[in-house]
Amino acid sequence: MHIPIVPIEIVRSMFRLLVLLPQFGILAFLAFPAAALAQLCTPNTRCIDYSKCYINNVPQPCAYGSGGAALGGIIFRHGIFEIEWLSESKAEVTYGKRREFKATAISSVENGYRVFRLSDGVVVKYPASGGINAFYTPEALRLRQLGGPAGSR
């Protein structure tokens, strides 16, 4: 019997998907996209649904899911922008169907929206209200950088 060898990149991607999806509290919207129109988050998780977010000024529903003091994701029906916060205003963002795009981002709050301006020209926005910023307070980032406990709500 021949056992196929799976490239390590695929194994890592599958593992990361299995780890991140429950942390973000995402419903099975990849399998049932019609259900995702109303809600992308699972109740009682560190995830907040929003009816109006933007990718390059195109409005669409999204959610923001927290994976810890310095990890999060902006969740759209068609995929996730994974965020690793480097500081209060700078992040590394990975996205794409196969996570093939990686860019640095400058983050700011403008007109009530958290705005990510990616180094590749993509701009992603979601509402800055609703407790999202509590996930990434400057104190939580300092604690993480010092090796202390991860910040939380």
Q: What average pLDDT does this structure show over 47-72? A: 92
- The pTM is what? 0.61
Q: What is the pLDDT of residues 3-14, one digit of tens each?
A: 445 444 543 444
The number of C-alpha atoms within 13 Å of 122 and in the hemisphere containing its C-beta is 16
Query: Rounded to an integer, what distance in angstroms lies between the CA atom of residue 2 and that of residue 51?
Result: 49
* Domain residue extents for the chain: 8-145
Query: Rounded to an integer, what distance in angstroms lies between the CA atom of residue 84 and that of residue 98?
Result: 17
